[in-house]
Amino acid sequence: MNWLLVVVGAMVGAPLRYLIGRAVEARNDTLFPWGTFTVNVAGCLVFGLLTGAVTYGDAPSSVRLLVGAGVCGTLTTYSAFSYETVRLAEIGARLYAVANVLASVASAIGAAFIGAALAEAMWA
């Protein structure tokens, strides 16, 4: 039954990743991969909030499978982040590549901590 929760969540997360990524990219005329950056940071924020909610007892662990592994697992995309970073370096946009790595990692981890802190403030 757990796998079904992940599948249903993935059916929501994957299209969200595509639609949000496309919408963000359409509004930015730059080499920086803002679409992937946005979905990764948003997914980490949601996952941090979710993890905090589960930790403080206000959300069942099944929600972590549905929203965490399913939705956030397919919303966020390490493979696209890696590919886009390598591609930036290959075309000579090394500053964008480095900025993508530093900004993505720092922002994603920061968003997860903020999400967990928000959950603690709301439910602890």
Q: How many domains does the chain have?
A: 1
Mean pLDDT within 102-106: 98
Mean pLDDT within 34-47: 98
Mean pLDDT within 81-92: 98
- Note down the domain range covering 9: 2-123
Mean pLDDT, the chain, rounded, equals 96
Mean pLDDT within 103-111: 98
Q: CA 14, CA 35: separation in Å to the nearest integer?
A: 13
Alpha-carbon distances of 69 from 56, 65, 75, rounded to whole Å: 19, 5, 10
pLDDT score recorded for residue 58? 79
Angle of CA points 74, 120, 5, to nearest 5°: 30
pLDDT score recorded for residue 56? 87
pTM for the full predicted model: 0.94
The answer to the question of whether 85 is labelled as a binding residue is no
The answer to the question of whether 77 is labelled as a binding residue is no
pLDDT tens digits along 43-77: 999 999 999 999 987 788 899 999 999 999 999 99
pLDDT at 37 over 90: yes
Pair 99, 33: CB distance under 8 Å: no
